[in-house]
Amino acid sequence: MTIRFDGRVAIVTGAGNGLGRAHALGLARYGAKVVVNDFGGARDGTGGSMTAAEAVVEEIRAAGGEAMADGADVSDFEQVTAMVAKATEKWGSVDIMCANAGILRDKSFAKMEVADFAKVLNVHLNGTFYCCKAVWEGMRARNYGRIVLTTSSSGLFGNFGQANYGAAKTGMVGLMNVLAEEGRKTDIRVNIISPTAATRMTEELLPKQALDLMRPESITPAVLFLLGENAPTRTIMGAGAGSFAVIKILESEGINLPRNEWTPDAIAAHFNEIADMSKAKALEGAFQQTQKYVAQAAAAAGIKLEK
């Protein structure tokens, strides 16, 4: 089955350059009408211009597609809701949200200013929430929606000098987990991409030999898959240089300790067993953790739980 987006309306944030541009062009190539959103600021979020967004719109139109430019700042909820309203008025709906916009203000934690921490969280995490919130009710009303958020290995696995960025990007995973659950009844599927690519955000961090391999276009196929009609939901997908993977947050099977061993010394004594990942599982919801712990405690105490 060929994945297509004919008749669908998509918003891609941060689409004037890099990953967002590649995603917008890809969606348009596969039939979507695309809102190319870009505030047009510098990498640190300062400034602003519609030039980049308008250039991508011209690319899409030159190839026979439909697109419109929008300069909404994703960290401003009123601007985001106005963008969604404008797209809905023009094309009737917003079916797809690709939340990609972001900034960098990297510094070691000791040198990081409070304002720089707050600004990065506001753009990445609050901005992603605003984008999802602005399209959510319309998607619910139509019983259809596809949303892809953008996380990062900097948050999932850690990276020096990016406490603000890493915190925001991992916060998005929590948002994705909850929205995927809340969206199931109305066929709103929510996933998240963890990309690594050569963009203006990363070009100074990558060796020159890697730049051609790490083109933004290598990420877009995963994003289009996650936005498709038959997409999964609640999936973290890694992508870069043509490699694709699924990332899971796992919990070890763990052990139950009797009450007389509820001490830090007992934890230390049993830590290798507690941390054994040989039977680790990805939990599908917060209450599964509670159920597992209760079941282990009941089994240890010889208590038969009522169903």
Question: Which residues does the annotation mark as catalytic?
Answer: 165
Q: Burial-class residue 260 by CB neighbours within 10 Å (0-12, 13-18, 19+).
A: exposed
Q: Burial-class residue 111 by CB neighbours within 10 Å (0-12, 13-18, 19+).
A: exposed
Give the Cα separation of 141 and 254 in Å (integer).
42
User: Is-contact 219 197, C-beta < 8 A?
Assistant: yes
Q: Burial-class residue 297 by CB neighbours within 10 Å (0-12, 13-18, 19+).
A: middle
Which amino acid is it at 261?
E
Number of neighbouring beta carbons within 10 Å of residue 14: 30
User: Is-contact 151 236, C-beta < 8 A?
Assistant: yes
